[in-house]
C-alpha cells in the first residue's frame, strides 16, 4: 500500500517545496509509492472543510508529514499540533523548520519593533494602522518546529537537498530508519587546499571572486577563508554534498553561508566562527553584525532582541 504523505508550509519562501520537484526523474518512482493526502502548494485541500463547513482545523491522517517553515503565528502553532496528531512520522523540511531559517533573523527585534519597522517606519511605507482583522496573531518570536512539537527527522538546508528528501521518503516507504544528520562539518568534506593561515589582506568582500583557475580541480583552490572570503564551513554541519560529496556552494566556488545549521543543538556558531577566524590570523571584528551573520539560518533559539542603545 502506498505511504500517505501530508505536507504543510509555515513561515517560508517555498524553496523547499521546489526541492521536491528538483528530485527530478527519481520522483516518478517515488510518486508511485506515495499518496499525497494534503499539500496546499499542490492541491486545493482546505483546513476547515472544502466549503468552510468545519469548526476546527483538520488534516487527514498520514504515514509521514513534512513541514517546511518556522512557527511565526498562532495558526502555524495550531497546525503544527494537528500535523503531529495526524502524522505517524513528522519531518522538518529545510532550515526554516529546523532552526527558524531566514525569518528567524527577525528574532533580533521584539514583535512590536518588527511590526513598527515593517508597517510604519520603512521609507517606502505610508504610516498607517497595523493589520489586525482576520489574520492570526503573531507569536512572540519565530520558533523552530521541534520547539513546539516532537520531530522525528530533520532535513536541513536552504533549501534542503533533493537527495535528502528522496532518502527520507524512501526510508518511510520501505519502513527503514530515517537518515541521521552528518556528524562532521562542511570543512571536513571540503576538498580545498589549506595552509592553516590567512593569505594576508584581511577579510574581503563576501562576493569577491576567489583566486583560482576556473575549471581546475577544487583541490587546487586554496581554502576560501584563508583567501579572506568569509566562509561558515567550520561551524556548519556537513551533508549538502551531491554525488561527488563536495559541499554544494564550494563546488560553485562560493563560500558556505551556514545553511545546514550549527554542528549540534548546543553549538554556538558565533563562538566557533570567531575561533576559526582568529586561528588563521583574521580579525573577527572585521565582520559587521556578527550575531546575525553567524546565525543566519539558526536564529530560532539563538537570536534575541538586542538591548536598546
Ligand atoms: S529553508 Fe530556505 S528555501 Fe527552504 S523555505 Fe526556508 S528560506 Fe525557503
Ligand atoms: S573554510 Fe570554507 S573553503 Fe575553507 S575548508 Fe572550510 S568549507 Fe572549505
Ligand atoms: S556549502 Fe554551506 S551554505 Fe552551501 S549548501 Fe552547503 S551548508 Fe549550505
Residue nearest to atom 6 of ligand 2 (CA): 187
CA distance 188 to 178: 23
pTM for this one? 0.95
Q: What is the pLDDT of residue 309?
A: 61
pLDDT band at 99 (very low <50, low <70, confident <90, very high): very high
From the CA of 221, give the closest atom in ligand 2. 3
Please compute the mean of the pLDDT values over residues 201-228 and round it to a whole number. 92
How far does the centroid of ligand 3 lie from the alpha carbon of residue 159, in Å? Answer: 9
Q: Specify whether the CB–CB gap between 274 and 284 falls below 8 A.
A: yes
Closest among 219, 210, 16 to 102, alpha carbons compared: 16
How deeply is 133 buried, as exposed, middle or buried, from its count of CB atoms within 10 A (0-12, 13-18, 19+)?
exposed
With helix as H, strand as E and coil as C, how does 40-68 read? Answer: CCCCCCCCCCCCCCCCCCCCCCEEEEEEE
Can you give the pLDDT at residue 108?
A: 96
pLDDT in tens, 16-75: 999 999 999 999 999 999 999 999 999 998 999 999 999 999 999 999 999 999 999 999
Class of the 3-105+133-174 domain?
A: alpha beta
216: pLDDT strictly greater than 80? yes
- Answer whether 68 contacts ligand 1 (Cβ < 6 A): yes
Q: How far is the CA of 190 from the centre of ligand 1 (A)?
A: 23
Q: Whose CA is nearest to atom 6 of ligand 1?
A: 96
Q: What is the pLDDT of residue 255?
A: 96
Lowest mean pLDDT among 52-56, 165-169, 232-236, 239-243: 239-243
Q: What is the pLDDT of residue 128?
A: 79
Mean pLDDT for the stretch of residues 103-119: 93
**131 pLDDT tier (thresholds 50, 70, 90):** confident
Would you say the CB of residue 251 lies under 6 angstroms from ligand 3? Answer: no
Predicted local distance difference test score (pLDDT) of residue 125? 86
List the residue whose alpha carbon is closest to atom 5 of ligand 3: 248
Sketch the domain layout of the chain as residue ranges. Answer: 3-105+133-174, 182-296
Burial class of residue 196 (count of CB atoms within 10 Å of its CB; 0-12, 13-18, 19+): exposed
Regarding the beta carbon of 20 and ligand 1, being less than 6 Å apart is answered no
In the reported structure, the alpha carbon of residue 54 is separated from the centroid of ligand 3 by a whole-number distance in angstroms of 42
* Atom nearest to 157 CA in ligand 3: 8
Amino acid at each position: 500500500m502506498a505511504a500517505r504523505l501530508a505536507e504543510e508550509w509555515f513561515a517560508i519562501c517555498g524553496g523547499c517545496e521546489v526541492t521536491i520537484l528538483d528530485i527530478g526523474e527519481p520522483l516518478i518512482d517515488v510518486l508511485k509509492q506515495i499518496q499525497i493526502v494534503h499539500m496546499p502548494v499542490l492541491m486545493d485541500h482546505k483546513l476547515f472543510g472544502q466549503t468552510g463547513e468545519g469548526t476546527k482545523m483538520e488534516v487527514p491522517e498520514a504515514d509521514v508529514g513534512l513541514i517546511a517553515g518556522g512557527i511565526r503565528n498562532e495558526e502555524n502553532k495550531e497546525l503544527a499540533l494537528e500535523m503531529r496528531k495526524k502524522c505517524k512520522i513528522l519531518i522538518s523540511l529545510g532550515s526554516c523548520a529546523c532552526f527558524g531559517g531566514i525569518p528567524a533573523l527577525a528574532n533580533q527585534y521584539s514583535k512590536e519593533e518588527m511590526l513598527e519597522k515593517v508597517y510604519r517606519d520603512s521609507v517606502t511605507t505610508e504610516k498607517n494602522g497595523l493589520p489586525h482583522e482576520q489574520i492570526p496573531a503573531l507569536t512572540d518570536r519565530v520558533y523552530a518546529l521541534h520547539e513546539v512539537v516532537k520531530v522525528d527527522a530533520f532535513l536541513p538546508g536552504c533549501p534542503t537537498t533533493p537527495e535528502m528528501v528522496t532518502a527520507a521518503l524512501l526510508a518511510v516507504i520501505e519502513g527503514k530508519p530515517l537518515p541521521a544528520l552528518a556528524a562532521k562539518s562542511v570543512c571536513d568534506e571540503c576538498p580545498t587546499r589549506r595552509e592553516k593561515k590567512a593569505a594576508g589582506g584581511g577579510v574581503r568582500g563576501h562576493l569577491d571572486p576567489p583566486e583560482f583557475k576556473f575549471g581546475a580541480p577544487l583541490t587546487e583552490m586554496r581554502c576560501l577563508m584563508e583567501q579572506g572570503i568569509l566562509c561558515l564551513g567550520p561551524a556548519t554541519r556537513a551533508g549538502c554534498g551531491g554525488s561527488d560529496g563536495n559541499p554544494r556552494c564550494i563546488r560553485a566556488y562560493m563560500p558556505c553561508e551556514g545553511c545546514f545549521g550549527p554542528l549540534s543543538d548546543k553549538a554556538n556558531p558565533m563562538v566557533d566562527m570567531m575561533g576559526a577566524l582568529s586561528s588563521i590570523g583574521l580579525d573577527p571584528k572585521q565582520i559587521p553584525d556578527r550575531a546575525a551573520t553567524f546565525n543566519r539560518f539558526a536564529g530560532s533559539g539563538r537570536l534575541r532582541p538586542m538591548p536598546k542603545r
